[in-house]
Amino acid sequence: MFEIVKKKVLADRIVLMDVKAKNVTERCLPGQFIIARTGEDGERIPLTICDYDREKEEITIVIQTIGASTEKMALLNEGDCFTDIVGPLGNPSEICLLENLEETKKKNIVFVAGGLGIAPVYCQVKWLHEHGVDCSVIMGSRTKDLLFFIEEMESVSGHVYVTTDDGTYGFHGMGTDQLKALYDEGIRFDHCVAIGPTIMMKFVCKLTKELSIHTVVSMNMIMVDGTGMCGACRLLVGDEVKFACVDGPEFDGHLVDFDLAMKRVALYKTEEGRKKLEFEEGETHKGGCKNC
């Protein structure tokens, strides 16, 4: 049912897939996510929707292999099927809602995308482009080999700034450095959307607070059900407890407690590491490394 119709390797450990998911495409919008599973007892993995085609009933997802479950998914090929895909989950991005379009058009919007965050940002920029809103995009990664979607992004935005931390491509520096540089050139934004690693979003928010730019971030918390049932995805936003899956995933970045979020995301690191090793090396990896 959830057949993979296209698979493409975007960069080291990052693959893109177009998947049939008619339960998702009827109502999905940019900013929402899905949960996917492979195998009878597969883990439920949240993945942002990076594009969708309502007519073909397909969604595009981008997977970075960080644990055993994502590794399993990345090994699937065209013609294979996911066991489950459920969605769309979470709230659509506010600037990509038709009812807000007039408001959105008045804004000077900048996106800051880091690493895997480039894919969901593309989805939003594309929607805005299709609805007559042009915005600026700063997209970056650690190094050139990890960059993807440059052409795609340029086809939907007239102002794309590419950065790499090591200077192997584009602007030498981080997204925050590029944003600061644009500010120094006199460009004024009044709405920022930052999507990427939590640490990156934290620093973008620190800067945009100084520059007084309202900033929205998309939080990648640990999730189980994605429907508000378990509370695994909770985080503090302005001292209030929020569930990322139902209240988010997008929040006011100036209110998010990033340090707490980073600790929570690290919770299963050792378990995941162990499962990944087990998956790669087989049953031989049990005990001995002190994590097992």
Partner 1 sequence: MDMLKRVPISEQDPKERAKNFEEVCLGYTEDEAVAEASRCLNCKNPRCVSGCPVSINIPAFIQEVKNRDFEKAYEIISLSSALPAVCGRVCPQETQCEGVCVRGVKGEPVAIGKLERFVADFAMKNGIEPKVSAEKKGHKVAVIGAGPAGLTCAGDLARNGYDVTIFEALHKAGGVLVYGIPEFRLPKERVVAVEVENVKKLGVKIETDVVVGRSVTIDDLMEKKGFEAVFIGSGAGLPRFMGIPGEQANGVFSANEYLTRSNLMKAYADKDTPIKPGKKVVVVGGGNVAMDSARTALRLGADVTVVYRRSMKELPARVEEVHHAKEEGVKFDLLTNPVEILTGEDGSVCGIRVIRMELGEPDASGRRSPVEIKGSEFEMECDTVIMALGTSPNPLISRTTNGLETNKRGCIVAEEEFGKTSKDGVFAGGDAVTGAATVILAMGAGKAAAKGIMDYFEK
Q: Which residues bind ligand FES (CB under 6 A)?
A: 223-226, 228-233, 243, 245
User: Whose CA is closest to 243, among 216, 223, 262?
Assistant: 223
Among 81, 224, 255, 277, binds partner 1 (CB under 8 A): 224
The 10 Å CB-count burial string (b at 16+, else e) for 177-207 is bbbeebbeeeeebebbbbbbebebbbbbbeb
Look at residue 41 and give the partner it binds from ligand FES, partner 1, none, a contact being a CB closer than 5 to 8 Å depending on partner kind. Answer: partner 1
Task: Tell how strand 159-164 and strand 171-172 pair up.
Answer: parallel
Q: Which is nearer to ligand FES, 134 or 225 (CB)?
A: 225
Among 9, 98, 267, 289, binds partner 1 (CB under 8 A): 267
Q: Which is nearer to partner 1, 101 or 222 (CB)?
A: 222
Among 44, 142, 144, 285, binds partner 1 (CB under 8 A): 44
The structure tokens listed for 28 are 């999905």
Look at residue 78 and give the partner it binds from partner 1, ligand FES, none, a contact being a CB closer than 5 to 8 Å depending on partner kind. Answer: none
Residue 200 CA to residue 190 CA, distance in Å, equals 19
User: Whose CA is closest to 78, among 145, 9, 151?
Assistant: 9
Among 190, 210, 271, 281, binds partner 1 (CB under 8 A): 271
Find the part of the chain contacting partner 1 (CB under 8 A) among 33-41, 158-166, 192-200, 210-218.
33-41
**Half-sphere exposure at residue 292, Cβ-oriented, CA atoms within 13 angstroms:** 12
The phi, psi pair for 89, rounded to 5°, reads -115, 160
Find the part of the chain contacting partner 1 (CB under 8 A) among 4-12, 55-63, 115-123, 268-276.
268-276
The phi, psi pair for 278, rounded to 5°, reads -60, -40
**Half-sphere exposure at residue 279, Cβ-oriented, CA atoms within 13 angstroms:** 18
Among 5, 39, 53, 188, binds partner 1 (CB under 8 A): 39
The structure tokens listed for 95 are 């600037």
Residues 49-108 that bind partner 1 (CB under 8 A): 68-69, 72, 83-89
Residues at the interface with partner 1 (CB under 8 A) = 23-24, 26-27, 32, 37, 39, 41-44, 68-69, 72, 83-89, 224-225, 227-232, 234-236, 241, 246, 260, 263-264, 266-268, 271-272, 275
